[in-house]
Chain A
Amino acid sequence: MQQSNGYIIVFSVILTVVLGLLLSGTSQVLGPMQREAEALDKKKQILGAVISADEIDAMTPEEVNEYYSSRISSIVVDINGEEVTEQDGASVTAESVDIGKNYKRPAEERLYPVFIFHEEGNSDAVESYVFPLYGAGLWDAIWGYMALDTDMNTVGGITLAHAGETPGLGARITEGGVQERFVGKEIYNESGELVAIKMQKGEGKDYSSDPHKVDGLSGATITANGVNAMLENYLGHYQAYIESKKSSKAVATAN
């Protein structure tokens, strides 16, 4: 049956409107639940840098929220390490900062949240500092959270995530076995320069004697390079904050 052009156009318009309404309706109804799920996932990623994945998996969503609120406090700093409490007239909290959006701005104008892992109920007894990371992998964005011990040098843990790396190759950055390679590595060299940590090319070599190198990902060198660049960039952006904490601690011990 051959229909007239008018019929086709009217049909298409009606179909588009109906499907469009359906989709926006779905999105409206599910939106709040999706935002909740995203917030929970972000908390899990932050906690993943300081406690083991098995522990997190064993928790219910309520327990994660509770654990997070009793053990994590947070501040937002700028590139100079100064605390930021409001931007453009609106107050900012570390949880509401979208790292991905900030990434698109020049480094000097970005907001840098810091998540502080402390003893339960006592926010002065800091156990480690968790810094968000963001960068580009091979296909799409990669991001993560890195925990530094209170010496501001030793890596306590890292979680890495990605939007679209190749499964089985670049996507392996999300595996526990890969992330464990960073634990215990150091970001400063002996002369006190920030050198970050580099994933090496190739896989299966032992780098346990070198505090700035970790074993690479076979077949995913570009993703590994993305991780390296991300670490270097963001540790650089946080350098002012890291060093202020480092020196205040040095003063404290000198006293």
Chain B
Amino acid sequence: MSAETVEKEIEKKPAEPLFSKRRKKLVTDPLVDENPITIQVLGICSALAVTTQMKPTLVMAISVIFVVVMSNFVISLMRNTIPSRVRIIVQLAVVATLVTVVSEILKAFAYDMYKELSVFIGLIITNCIVMGRLEAFALGNKPYDSMLDGFGSALGYSWIILTVAFFRELWGSGSVFGIPVFDYVSGIFGPDFQLATNGLMVSPVGAFIILGLIIWVQRTKTGYVEH
């Protein structure tokens, strides 16, 4: 990255600060106003599938952040050499390689996670957020900016799936990160009291409902309407 900033200093007279206002906006915009899930409604498949518990969701979020940031970086580095006629295939090859690396690393160091997330790690390849950012941003911008943009989008994706997972695990299994919160709370009220869990939350339908509620709350607050 240091080489990158040096290059920039030569090109532009006043060097843009590492975290200028424009660059901060690259990261913060996708968190709420341009959120890939709630506004652009991308990446829904994995948002529904992996969010029954916090732990796998966190691993998924980290994997997506890694893949989006790295693929944005690589594609942006190559953006002037990629032949435009085969650019989609080139993007796909890069993304698929990164996803395979993530999957191999999980298999070696976190086998239980690898088993639990199984096919969904592989399906990061088809996550529209990844290809969407490559097409829309990385092909036309410098590597550092592209990395920030990818980081922002992936973070926007991550906080939504983590929020969904929090409520699904809490209401569906009565726990958070595997800690049985419901049992502790029930214990306070005496032995006969038991907070009930809802099986609906464990099934993908629960994710639809939570996601719908999040989108509703967000759009009410920001006043966003579909055009």
B partners with A? yes
Question: Could you tell me which A residues sit within 8 Å of B by CB distance?
Answer: 1-3, 7-8, 11-12, 15-16, 19, 22-23, 26-27, 30, 33-34, 37-38, 40-41, 163-164, 167-168
CB neighbours (8 Å) of B81 from chain A are: 11
Interface stretch, picked from B31-39, B60-68, B89-97, B209-217, is: B89-97
B203: contacting residue among A11, A30, A40, A168, CB under 8 A:
A168
Once A3-B85, A16-B93, A167-B49 are accepted as A-B contacts, the answer to whether A41 and B105 lie under 8 Å apart by CB is no
User: B84 contacts A3, CB within 8 Å?
Assistant: yes
How many residues from B make CB contacts under 8 Å with A? Answer: 28
User: A23 contacts B101, CB within 8 Å?
Assistant: yes
User: A33 contacts B100, CB within 8 Å?
Assistant: no
Measured CA separation A19–B99 after assembly (Å): 12
Chain A to chain B contacts (Cβ below 8 Å), 30 pairs: A1-B84, A8-B86, A11-B86, A11-B90, A12-B90, A15-B90, A16-B93, A19-B93, A19-B94, A19-B97, A22-B101, A23-B100, A23-B101, A26-B100, A26-B104, A26-B105, A30-B105, A33-B108, A33-B109, A34-B107, A34-B111, A37-B109, A38-B111, A41-B115, A163-B118, A167-B52, A168-B52, A168-B202, A168-B203, A168-B204
User: B104 contacts A27, CB within 8 Å?
Assistant: yes
Closest 8 CB pairs of A and B: A37-B111, A33-B108, A30-B108, A3-B83, A8-B83, A168-B203, A19-B97, A34-B108
Once A11-B83, A26-B101 are accepted as A-B contacts, the answer to whether A37 and B108 lie under 8 Å apart by CB is yes
User: B85 contacts A8, CB within 8 Å?
Assistant: yes
CB neighbours (8 Å) of A40 from chain B are: 111
CB neighbours (8 Å) of B203 from chain A are: 168
Q: Choose among A22, A37, A41 the residue with the greatest number of B CB atoms under 10 Å from its CB.
A: A37
For residue B18, CB closer than 8 A to chain A, the reply is no
How does the 8 Å CB contact mask read for B162-206 relative to A, with 1 for contact and 0 for none?
Answer: 000000000000000000000000000000000000000011100
Chain A nearest CB, measured from B51 CB (Å): 11
Measured CA separation A181–B111 after assembly (Å): 27
Measured CA separation A30–B110 after assembly (Å): 12
For residue B77, CB closer than 8 A to chain A, the reply is no
A12: contacting residue among B86, B108, B111, CB under 8 A:
B86
Once A27-B104, A41-B115 are accepted as A-B contacts, the answer to whether A22 and B204 lie under 8 Å apart by CB is no
Q: Told that A3-B84, A26-B105, A37-B109 touch, could you supply 4 new A-B pairs with CB distance under 8 A?
A: A2-B85, A26-B104, A30-B107, A168-B52
User: B84 contacts A41, CB within 8 Å?
Assistant: no
Measured CA separation A15–B84 after assembly (Å): 15
Beta-carbon nearest neighbor of A18 in chain B: B97
For residue B82, CB closer than 8 A to chain A, the reply is yes
Chain A nearest CB, measured from B93 CB (Å): 6
User: A41 contacts B82, CB within 8 Å?
Assistant: no
User: B104 contacts A167, CB within 8 Å?
Assistant: no
For residue B119, CB closer than 8 A to chain A, the reply is yes
Beta-carbon nearest neighbor of B81 in chain A: A11
CB neighbours (8 Å) of A41 from chain B are: 111-112, 115
Chain B nearest CB, measured from A142 CB (Å): 13
User: A11 contacts B82, CB within 8 Å?
Assistant: yes
Measured CA separation A168–B204 after assembly (Å): 8
Measured CA separation A17–B91 after assembly (Å): 15
Chain B nearest CB, measured from A4 CB (Å): 9
Measured CA separation A33–B84 after assembly (Å): 40
User: A167 contacts B82, CB within 8 Å?
Assistant: no
Beta-carbon nearest neighbor of A33 in chain B: B108
CB neighbours (8 Å) of A168 from chain B are: 52, 202-204
Measured CA separation A41–B110 after assembly (Å): 11
CB neighbours (8 Å) of A163 from chain B are: 118
Beta-carbon nearest neighbor of B202 in chain A: A168
Measured CA separation A92–B105 after assembly (Å): 30
Measured CA separation A12–B86 after assembly (Å): 9
Chain B nearest CB, measured from A179 CB (Å): 16
Once A1-B84, A8-B83, A41-B111 are accepted as A-B contacts, the answer to whether A164 and B119 lie under 8 Å apart by CB is yes
Chain B nearest CB, measured from A223 CB (Å): 15
User: B83 contacts A7, CB within 8 Å?
Assistant: yes
A30: contacting residue among B83, B86, B93, B104, CB under 8 A:
B104
Chain A nearest CB, measured from B29 CB (Å): 29
